[in-house]
Amino acid sequence: MTTLTNAIVLVTGANGGLGAEFVQQALDRGAAKVYATARTPRTWDDERVVPLALDVTSQESVDAAARAAADTTIVVNNAGIGGAAPLLETSVEDVERVFATNVFGALRVAKSFAPLLGGGALVDVHSVLSWIAFGGGYSASKAAFWSLTNSLRLELAPQGTQVVGAHLGYTDTGMTADLDVEKADPADIVRAIWDAVEAGEHEVLADQISRDVRAGLSAPLEALYPALASA
Protein backbone atom coordinates (compact mmCIF):
# COMPACT_ATOMS: atom_id res chain seq x y z
CA MET A 1 0.00 0.00 0.00
CA THR A 2 1.05 3.61 -0.55
CA THR A 3 0.57 6.43 1.94
CA LEU A 4 0.00 10.03 0.96
CA THR A 5 1.63 11.26 4.13
CA ASN A 6 4.77 13.16 3.03
CA ALA A 7 4.32 11.87 -0.52
CA ILE A 8 5.42 13.84 -3.58
CA VAL A 9 2.55 13.64 -6.04
CA LEU A 10 2.37 14.55 -9.73
CA VAL A 11 -1.05 15.01 -11.32
CA THR A 12 -1.51 15.30 -15.08
CA GLY A 13 -4.45 17.33 -16.32
CA ALA A 14 -4.49 19.21 -13.02
CA ASN A 15 -6.48 22.18 -14.33
CA GLY A 16 -9.71 20.20 -14.73
CA GLY A 17 -12.36 19.22 -12.23
CA LEU A 18 -10.94 15.81 -11.35
CA GLY A 19 -7.35 17.03 -11.55
CA ALA A 20 -7.93 19.88 -9.12
CA GLU A 21 -9.58 17.45 -6.70
CA PHE A 22 -6.61 15.08 -6.91
CA VAL A 23 -4.32 17.99 -6.04
CA GLN A 24 -6.36 19.31 -3.14
CA GLN A 25 -7.22 15.95 -1.61
CA ALA A 26 -3.59 14.80 -1.83
CA LEU A 27 -2.64 17.86 0.22
CA ASP A 28 -5.47 17.21 2.65
CA ARG A 29 -4.13 13.69 3.20
CA GLY A 30 -0.65 14.92 4.01
CA ALA A 31 1.26 15.12 0.75
CA ALA A 32 4.37 17.23 1.13
CA LYS A 33 4.28 18.53 -2.45
CA VAL A 34 2.06 18.23 -5.52
CA TYR A 35 3.23 18.94 -9.05
CA ALA A 36 0.09 20.24 -10.78
CA THR A 37 0.71 19.76 -14.48
CA ALA A 38 -1.10 20.94 -17.59
CA ARG A 39 -0.17 22.26 -21.00
CA THR A 40 -0.74 25.73 -19.54
CA PRO A 41 -0.53 25.39 -15.76
CA ARG A 42 -2.83 27.51 -13.62
CA THR A 43 -1.73 29.33 -10.48
CA TRP A 44 -2.38 27.92 -7.02
CA ASP A 45 -2.63 29.60 -3.63
CA ASP A 46 -0.84 26.83 -1.74
CA GLU A 47 2.97 26.91 -1.69
CA ARG A 48 3.00 23.11 -1.59
CA VAL A 49 1.63 23.08 -5.16
CA VAL A 50 4.21 23.39 -7.92
CA PRO A 51 2.69 24.27 -11.32
CA LEU A 52 4.52 22.43 -14.08
CA ALA A 53 4.06 22.57 -17.85
CA LEU A 54 3.41 19.16 -19.37
CA ASP A 55 2.06 18.14 -22.77
CA VAL A 56 1.61 14.37 -22.59
CA THR A 57 1.63 14.10 -26.40
CA SER A 58 5.24 15.36 -26.52
CA GLN A 59 8.06 13.06 -25.44
CA GLU A 60 10.31 16.08 -24.99
CA SER A 61 7.79 17.69 -22.63
CA VAL A 62 7.30 14.48 -20.65
CA ASP A 63 11.05 13.96 -20.29
CA ALA A 64 11.50 17.56 -19.11
CA ALA A 65 8.76 17.09 -16.51
CA ALA A 66 10.37 13.88 -15.26
CA ARG A 67 13.65 15.73 -14.77
CA ALA A 68 11.98 18.67 -13.04
CA ALA A 69 9.92 16.42 -10.77
CA ALA A 70 12.51 13.74 -10.09
CA ASP A 71 11.43 13.44 -6.44
CA THR A 72 7.93 12.24 -7.39
CA THR A 73 6.64 9.17 -5.53
CA ILE A 74 3.04 9.02 -6.85
CA VAL A 75 1.86 9.80 -10.39
CA VAL A 76 -1.79 10.32 -11.31
CA ASN A 77 -2.32 9.76 -15.04
CA ASN A 78 -5.44 11.91 -15.27
CA ALA A 79 -4.99 13.95 -18.47
CA GLY A 80 -7.47 13.06 -21.17
CA ILE A 81 -9.66 14.42 -23.94
CA GLY A 82 -13.12 13.53 -25.21
CA GLY A 83 -14.21 12.22 -28.58
CA ALA A 84 -17.39 10.18 -28.39
CA ALA A 85 -18.87 10.54 -31.89
CA PRO A 86 -19.67 7.27 -33.69
CA LEU A 87 -16.56 5.75 -35.25
CA LEU A 88 -18.09 5.59 -38.72
CA GLU A 89 -18.84 9.31 -38.55
CA THR A 90 -15.39 10.28 -37.28
CA SER A 91 -12.19 10.63 -39.27
CA VAL A 92 -9.38 8.25 -38.45
CA GLU A 93 -7.25 11.32 -37.77
CA ASP A 94 -9.66 12.47 -35.04
CA VAL A 95 -9.59 9.04 -33.42
CA GLU A 96 -5.80 9.06 -33.59
CA ARG A 97 -5.84 12.43 -31.80
CA VAL A 98 -7.88 10.94 -28.95
CA PHE A 99 -5.51 7.97 -28.69
CA ALA A 100 -2.49 10.31 -28.76
CA THR A 101 -3.55 11.80 -25.42
CA ASN A 102 -5.59 9.08 -23.70
CA VAL A 103 -3.37 6.12 -24.55
CA PHE A 104 0.07 7.03 -25.83
CA GLY A 105 0.33 10.17 -23.71
CA ALA A 106 -0.47 8.20 -20.57
CA LEU A 107 2.03 5.52 -21.59
CA ARG A 108 4.73 8.16 -22.11
CA VAL A 109 4.14 9.45 -18.59
CA ALA A 110 4.17 5.95 -17.11
CA LYS A 111 7.40 4.98 -18.87
CA SER A 112 9.23 8.20 -18.04
CA PHE A 113 8.27 8.23 -14.37
CA ALA A 114 8.45 4.47 -13.71
CA PRO A 115 12.11 4.56 -12.59
CA LEU A 116 11.12 7.06 -9.87
CA LEU A 117 8.22 5.08 -8.45
CA GLY A 118 9.81 2.14 -6.65
CA GLY A 119 7.75 1.78 -3.48
CA GLY A 120 5.34 4.41 -4.78
CA ALA A 121 2.24 4.36 -6.97
CA LEU A 122 0.93 4.96 -10.47
CA VAL A 123 -2.76 5.83 -10.67
CA ASP A 124 -4.38 5.52 -14.10
CA VAL A 125 -7.78 7.19 -14.51
CA HIS A 126 -9.97 5.08 -16.79
CA SER A 127 -13.72 5.14 -17.31
CA VAL A 128 -16.73 2.85 -17.18
CA LEU A 129 -16.56 3.31 -20.97
CA SER A 130 -13.42 1.18 -20.88
CA TRP A 131 -15.87 -1.73 -20.69
CA ILE A 132 -18.86 -0.60 -22.72
CA ALA A 133 -18.68 0.86 -26.20
CA PHE A 134 -21.03 3.82 -25.99
CA GLY A 135 -18.33 6.42 -26.53
CA GLY A 136 -16.83 5.94 -30.00
CA GLY A 137 -13.12 6.67 -30.10
CA TYR A 138 -13.16 7.71 -26.45
CA SER A 139 -14.40 4.28 -25.34
CA ALA A 140 -11.83 2.57 -27.55
CA SER A 141 -9.04 4.71 -26.12
CA LYS A 142 -10.06 3.98 -22.54
CA ALA A 143 -10.27 0.25 -23.27
CA ALA A 144 -6.74 0.38 -24.65
CA PHE A 145 -5.57 2.37 -21.63
CA TRP A 146 -7.13 -0.21 -19.29
CA SER A 147 -5.19 -2.95 -21.07
CA LEU A 148 -1.96 -0.96 -20.82
CA THR A 149 -2.52 -0.49 -17.10
CA ASN A 150 -2.96 -4.23 -16.57
CA SER A 151 0.36 -4.84 -18.31
CA LEU A 152 2.13 -2.04 -16.45
CA ARG A 153 0.87 -3.43 -13.13
CA LEU A 154 2.65 -6.71 -13.81
CA GLU A 155 5.80 -5.09 -15.15
CA LEU A 156 6.15 -2.64 -12.25
CA ALA A 157 5.32 -5.12 -9.47
CA PRO A 158 8.94 -6.33 -9.11
CA GLN A 159 10.08 -2.81 -8.17
CA GLY A 160 7.30 -2.43 -5.61
CA THR A 161 5.18 0.07 -7.52
CA GLN A 162 1.46 -0.07 -6.83
CA VAL A 163 -0.52 0.43 -10.06
CA VAL A 164 -4.14 1.43 -9.53
CA GLY A 165 -6.72 1.45 -12.33
CA ALA A 166 -9.61 3.79 -11.52
CA HIS A 167 -12.97 3.47 -13.24
CA LEU A 168 -15.78 6.02 -13.06
CA GLY A 169 -18.95 7.01 -14.86
CA TYR A 170 -20.20 10.48 -15.75
CA THR A 171 -18.67 13.00 -13.37
CA ASP A 172 -19.44 16.70 -13.06
CA THR A 173 -16.42 18.15 -14.87
CA GLY A 174 -15.85 20.39 -17.85
CA MET A 175 -15.70 17.37 -20.16
CA THR A 176 -19.32 16.46 -19.36
CA ALA A 177 -20.70 19.99 -19.05
CA ASP A 178 -22.91 19.62 -22.14
CA LEU A 179 -24.36 16.24 -21.16
CA ASP A 180 -27.83 16.12 -19.60
CA VAL A 181 -27.19 13.05 -17.45
CA GLU A 182 -26.80 12.24 -13.78
CA LYS A 183 -23.24 13.03 -12.72
CA ALA A 184 -21.12 12.12 -9.72
CA ASP A 185 -19.38 14.72 -7.58
CA PRO A 186 -15.65 14.85 -8.47
CA ALA A 187 -14.82 15.07 -4.76
CA ASP A 188 -16.53 11.72 -4.11
CA ILE A 189 -14.78 10.07 -7.05
CA VAL A 190 -11.32 11.27 -6.06
CA ARG A 191 -11.91 10.35 -2.43
CA ALA A 192 -12.71 6.78 -3.46
CA ILE A 193 -9.58 6.62 -5.61
CA TRP A 194 -7.25 7.93 -2.90
CA ASP A 195 -8.88 5.53 -0.41
CA ALA A 196 -8.05 2.65 -2.75
CA VAL A 197 -4.45 3.81 -3.16
CA GLU A 198 -3.93 3.98 0.59
CA ALA A 199 -5.65 0.61 1.07
CA GLY A 200 -3.20 -1.06 -1.33
CA GLU A 201 -5.81 -1.96 -3.96
CA HIS A 202 -5.09 -2.61 -7.63
CA GLU A 203 -8.39 -1.35 -9.00
CA VAL A 204 -11.15 0.96 -7.82
CA LEU A 205 -14.73 1.13 -9.08
CA ALA A 206 -15.46 4.64 -7.92
CA ASP A 207 -19.23 4.73 -8.43
CA GLN A 208 -22.23 2.42 -8.75
CA ILE A 209 -22.39 2.43 -12.55
CA SER A 210 -18.79 1.24 -12.72
CA ARG A 211 -19.55 -1.54 -10.27
CA ASP A 212 -22.65 -2.57 -12.20
CA VAL A 213 -20.97 -2.65 -15.60
CA ARG A 214 -17.91 -4.47 -14.27
CA ALA A 215 -20.16 -7.11 -12.71
CA GLY A 216 -21.97 -7.58 -16.02
CA LEU A 217 -18.93 -8.28 -18.19
CA SER A 218 -19.41 -12.04 -17.90
CA ALA A 219 -22.98 -11.82 -19.24
CA PRO A 220 -23.85 -12.36 -22.92
CA LEU A 221 -23.23 -9.35 -25.15
CA GLU A 222 -26.96 -8.82 -25.53
CA ALA A 223 -27.16 -7.96 -21.82
CA LEU A 224 -24.69 -5.09 -22.25
CA TYR A 225 -26.04 -4.07 -25.67
CA PRO A 226 -29.80 -4.75 -25.79
CA ALA A 227 -29.98 -3.43 -29.36
CA LEU A 228 -28.17 -6.57 -30.51
CA ALA A 229 -31.07 -8.74 -29.38
CA SER A 230 -33.35 -7.23 -31.99
CA ALA A 231 -30.75 -6.87 -34.72
- Which positions are catalytic? 138, 142
136 Rama class: left (phi>0) / alpha (psi -120 to 50) / beta: left
Q: At residue 167, what is the residue type?
A: H
Count of residues for the chain?
231
Tell me the CA distances in angstroms from 4 to 33, 38, 89, 175, one per residue in order: 10, 22, 44, 27
| Total Cβ atoms within 10 A of residue 17 | 20
- Strand-pairing partners, residue 87, are none
Do the Cβ atoms of 29 and 5 come closer than 8 Å? yes
For the chain, the distance separating the N- and C-terminal CA atoms, rounded to the nearest angstrom, is 47
